[in-house]
């Protein structure tokens, strides 16, 4: 059964199309990804149901093996959800393409989650203290899936450096 008020695949795809045409943040990310690795999104961005898959509890994900972003339509409720999730997952695609250097895979993942949350779903949260809480909560939750009990410690280790990394956006220039 589809969750109450969730988008159908058709609705999600329609909103995705509108966002791809109008969002300057999405445009900046897509251009930057293309410059770094023309194949990073070879299979594009799609909306599809994720029920009965390993991703069924997610709103979206970047699949680096298949080189695509998938938005899980049954877990998306609004146009804002589509845009925030798309930005979040494109940050992951960008980070994967630029191959940062970290002491462990968990540190790399944690940094990516901090950046994706800061530039995505937590970007407009105010005041700054609530924004930090939003970023930490989301980054720790996502990192925990891959790094277990060390997630909180690792996210806190990389937070200050990674939250300041706004690439590919230029500081002081609106997207």
Question: Which residue range is the domain that position 156 belongs to?
Answer: 101-165
Considering the domain architecture, whether residues 79 and 149 belong to the same structural domain is answered as no
Q: CA nearest 106: which of 74, 58, 142?
A: 142
78 and 146 assigned to the same domain: no
pLDDT band at 128 (very low <50, low <70, confident <90, very high): very high
- Catalytic site includes residue 89: yes
Within-domain flag for 57:
yes
Do residues 41 and 116 share a domain? Answer: no
Whether 86 and 124 map to the same domain: the answer is no
For residue 89, give the CATH number of its domain: 3.30.2010
Residues 88 and 7 in one domain: yes
Q: Are 9 and 42 within one domain?
A: yes
- Residue 156's pLDDT is 97
| pLDDT band of 38, cuts 50, 70, 90 | very high
Q: Are residues 4 and 39 in the same domain?
A: yes
CB neighbour list of residue 111: distance below 8 Å, 6 or more residues apart: 95, 100, 102, 158, 161, 162, 165
Contact 106, 151 (CB under 8 A): yes
Claim to verify: residue 88 and residue 125 sit in the same structural domain: no
Catalytic, out of 74, 89, 133, 145: 89
Question: Rounded to whole angstroms, how far apart are CA atoms 11 and 86?
Answer: 15
Give pLDDT, residue 101. Answer: 74
Give the chain's length: 175
pTM, two decimals, is: 0.88
Domain identity same for 91 and 153: no
């Amino acid at each position: 059964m589809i969750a109450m008020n969730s988008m159908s695949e058709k609705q999600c795809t329609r909103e995705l199309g509108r966002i791809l045409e109008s969002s300057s943040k999405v445009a900046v990310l897509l251009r930057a990804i293309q410059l770094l690795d023309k194949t990073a999104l070879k299979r594009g961005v799609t909306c599809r149901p994720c029920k009965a898959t390993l991703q069924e509890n997610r709103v979206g994900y970047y699949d680096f093996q298949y080189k695509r972003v998938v938005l899980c339509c049954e877990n998306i409720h609004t146009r804002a959800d589509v845009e925030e999730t798309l930005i979040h997952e494109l940050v992951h695609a960008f980070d994967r393409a630029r191959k940062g250097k970290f002491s462990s895979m968990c540190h790399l993942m944690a940094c990516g989650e901090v950046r994706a949350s800061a530039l995505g779903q937590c970007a407009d949260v105010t005041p700054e203290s609530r924004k930090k809480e939003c970023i930490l909560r989301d980054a720790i939750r996502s990192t925990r899936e891959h790094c277990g009990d060390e997630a909180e410690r690792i996210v806190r280790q990389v937070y200050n450096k990674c939250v300041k990394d706004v690439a590919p956006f230029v500081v002081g220039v609106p997207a």
